[in-house]
Amino acid sequence: MRRNSQTTNSGGGLRFFGGMPPSPVLRGVKMAVPIMLGYAPIGAAYGLLAQQAGFGMLHALCLSVFVYAGAAQFMAVSLFAAGMGFPVIVGTTFVVNFRHVLMSASLSRFLSSWTKSERVIFGGMITDESFAIHSRNFERGDTATNAALALNTAAYLTWVIFGMIGFHMGTLIKRPEAWGLDFALPAMFIGLLLPACQNAPSVIAAIFGGAVSVTLHLAGAGNWAAFIGAIAGAAAGVCFRRPKP
Amino acid sequence: MLPETKAVTDMWLTIAGMALVTFLPRVIPLLLLPGMKMPNIAERWLSLISPAILSALLFPALLIGENAAGEPVLSLLNIHLFAAIPSIAVAWKTKSLFCAVVTGIATAALLRFFW
């Protein structure tokens, strides 16, 4: 199922250098464009929020550089502003970000040929969005290290740089949602979820995972929703494929 | 109110703690799992994480809103849910992620203009 094709082109769209195959780095950056479209406005919104909550520039920057996790950063800024301390903020961050363990485990199936340091650098920059694109690429047999790292780096730099732009001139960006930019990431999940639902188990996994996650949100356990939803959804899919007697 | 220096130290400690508890779950499976012999059922489960987690992230973005008190409620009349319809159609038809994203952004902007 994996590595059955030598896919090197990521599908239609732009072509670089008049038809010559683009370099892996360019390919990675190009695949990151939908992520960058979503990260730019959200990153700027984070920067603005941090500035308004009284964060110093260096603190706001270091959160982006060393944590690099949108939901957790928004949450940390609000908790700080509400006067919460180390245990609450770090504990909540752990819960919110623990879903990455599933993404890392899922991607690890394809990366046994990578060196340990490549895997550490790659893993440190896994996000919901980059996971979704890597997962699609790896399933297609495209595990080129440079393209994958370039994709991660492009998304990472967009997040960090727009965080700083938002911090310094966030008030200039009045309402990013007026431009529809708040829908960039949900639209990306749609564009990646549909092709990922190619057989009955994956459809079951998606429906069940989504339903569990929505239920947990409604029950007030939104921080756990993605993690538990993913575990339950994938388990439901596995059960469905149990071989018949 | 804490003295200024203690507050700043706490801030750095908190950022370092956040970085650590985020980094480890991202990296440990990638370091430990490759090369490990895994039962078939675990391999199958891991292969279904992608659709399961994508919809676990997407569904709430489309279906969950907030009531006046800021509590999460089911919301079926919201811009994201309506903007999802053309995005799904375009993603289905063109198989292009980029086209789906641009369609979604444009629809959300239009809806917001007329809502």
Q: Does residue A237 register a pLDDT over 90? A: yes
Task: Tell me which amino acid residue A205 is.
Answer: A
Are residues A97 and A206 both part of a single domain? no
Domain ranges within chain B, ordered by starting residue: 1-36
Q: What are phi and psi of B95, to 5 degrees?
A: 60, 15
Within 8 A of A104 by CB-CB distance, chain B residues are 25-30
DSSP notation for chain A: --S-S------SS--SGGGSPPPHHHHHHHHHHHHHHHHHHHHHHHHHHHHHTT--HHHHHHIIIII--HHHHHHHHHHHHTT--HHHHHHHHHHHHTTHHHHHHHHHTT-TTS-HHHHHHHHHT--HHHHHHHHHHHHTT---HHHHHHHHHHHHHHHHHHHHHHHHHGGGS--GGGGTGGGHHHHHHHHHHHHH--SHHHHHHHHHHHHHHHHHHHTT-HHHHHHHHHHHHHHHHHHHTPPP-
Are residues A166 and A49 both part of a single domain? yes
Query: What would the two tokens of residue A198 be?
Result: 């190619």
**Residue A210 belongs to a domain:** yes
The residue of chain B nearest to residue A75, with distances taken between CA atoms, is: B18
Within 8 A of B27 by CB-CB distance, chain A residues are 104, 119-120, 123-124
Are residues A92 and A152 both part of a single domain? yes
For chain A, state the CA radius of gyration: 19
Are residues A156 and A234 both part of a single domain? no
Q: Does residue A117 register a pLDDT over 80? A: yes
Are residues A170 and A203 both part of a single domain? no
Beta carbons of A192 and B92 less than 8 angstroms apart: no
Substitution target from B26, B32, B44, B99 for chain A, most A beta carbons within 10 A: B26
Residue among A184, A175, A244, A217 at smallest CA distance from A39: A184
Distance CA(B21)–CA(B40), nearest Å, equals 30
| Beta strand spans in B1-115 (E) | 64-66, 72-74
User: Is B7 in CB contact (< 8 Å) with chain A?
Assistant: no
Query: What would the two tokens of residue A219 be?
Result: 């029950």
Are residues A165 and A225 both part of a single domain? no
Are residues A128 and A76 both part of a single domain? yes
Show which of residues 8-27 on chain A sit within 8 Å of chain B, judged by CB atoms. Answer: 11-13
Q: Does residue A31 register a pLDDT over 60? A: yes
Within 8 A of A60 by CB-CB distance, chain B residues are none
**Residue A245 belongs to a domain:** no
Are residues A47 and A131 both part of a single domain? yes
What are the pLDDT digits (tens) for A174-220?
676 777 888 988 999 999 999 899 899 999 999 999 999 999 999 99
Total of domains in chain A:
2
Are residues A32 and A117 both part of a single domain? yes
User: Is A160 in CB contact (< 8 Å) with chain B?
Assistant: no
Q: How far apart are the first and last CA of chain A?
A: 24
Per-residue HEC secondary structure of A226-245 comes to HHHHHHHHHHHHHHHCCCCC
CB pair distance less than 8 Å for B84 and A131: no
Average pLDDT value for residue range A14-39: 81
CA distance A205 to chain B (A): 5
User: Is B85 in CB contact (< 8 Å) with chain A?
Assistant: no
* Segments forming the whole domain that contains residue A153: 22-175
Q: What is the ipTM of this complex?
A: 0.89
**Residue A181 belongs to a domain:** no
pLDDT tens over chain B, length 115 residues = 445 666 777 889 999 999 999 999 999 999 999 988 899 999 999 999 999 999 999 999 999 998 888 899 999 989 999 999 999 999 999 988 999 999 999 999 999 888 7
Residue among A105, A88, A113 at smallest CA distance from A3: A113
